[in-house]
Structure 1
Amino acid sequence: MSDTTSKISEAAEPDYDRLLRANLERVFNERDAERRAAALAELFVEEPVMYEPDNVVQGRDAISAVAGALLDRFGPIFRFTPAGTAVGHHGFGSLQWQAGDEGGSVTVTGSDVAEVVHGRIARLWVLLNPPEA
């Protein structure tokens, strides 16, 4: 591969770590619905799709509703935190995360895998790790 091709490929890649960390913090940790909607408008394409283990969610409003319901369900100090740095290439990125009460034990771990189009999340797969015995 020539130096020119390498530079073009690198320049075309989005910042997967920034994007997927922003999704965790500004969408899935955001309790204010208006701020969450603004983050979704910035981070996601107009008609995104999110694949959960038991559901397929279409559209920013529906993703916002899922995030809000999740936060309501688990309480005011429940948070998602990145577990490492996101990696990605050629339009797909992955970030491992953990979640639980802030300052408490981890109750769930998983990964977000995103298809990124023009620097924004088009499709998001939420992969949950099996509970540890």
Structure 2
Amino acid sequence: MTTNDIDFDRLLRANLERVFNERDLDKRQTAIAELFVEEPVMYEPTKIVRGRLEISRVAGELLKQFGPTFRFVPDGVAVGHHGLARLAWHAGPEQGPIAVTGADVAEVEGGKIARLWVLLNPPQ
């Protein structure tokens, strides 16, 4: 698979919807297996998360912490080339207000996310 074959928008949107918006553990872990390499690394502002199980755990805890209507919503289209992609997003309760904005930057290998940086915008 070449970098030209990768649908970066589909991949990063699937990560938001099927991993970070998914409250069902089994569905989330299935999605992570499809979307991430065997040993992914996620870089958050305050920690480094290693492995599929830990990424699933972090996503689940985040959703639990912020309540049943908290969602991540993509802003625009993901852009990428040469194995690097970015998708801006905002998050908060479904009926608002927006609690946080940021972007995911992913290094993609073989069509899957190998490394994911979660970049948070400063509060406004």
Structure 2 match to 1:29: 21
The CA deviation string for residues 65-118 of structure 1, in whole angstroms up to 9 with x for no partner, is: 000000000000000000110000000000000000002111100000000000
Q: 2:110 aligns with which of 118, 121, 133?
A: 118
The structure with the larger Rg is 1
Displacement of 1:12: 3.1
Q: Distance in 1 between matches of 2:60 and 2:20?
A: 8
Q: Percent identity at matched positions?
A: 67
> 4+ residue runs of structure 1 moved beyond 2 angstroms?
none
Q: Distance in 2 between matches of 1:90 and 1:113?
A: 13
CA RMSD after TM alignment: 1.0
Structure 1 match to 2:122: 130
Gap regions ≥5 residues in structure 1 = 1-8
Structure 2 match to 1:38: 30
Q: 2:47 aligns with which of 55, 72, 75?
A: 55
C-alpha contact (below 8 Å) 2:69/2:93 kept by paired residues: yes
Gap regions ≥5 residues in structure 2 = none
How many residue pairs are counted as aligned between the two chains? 123
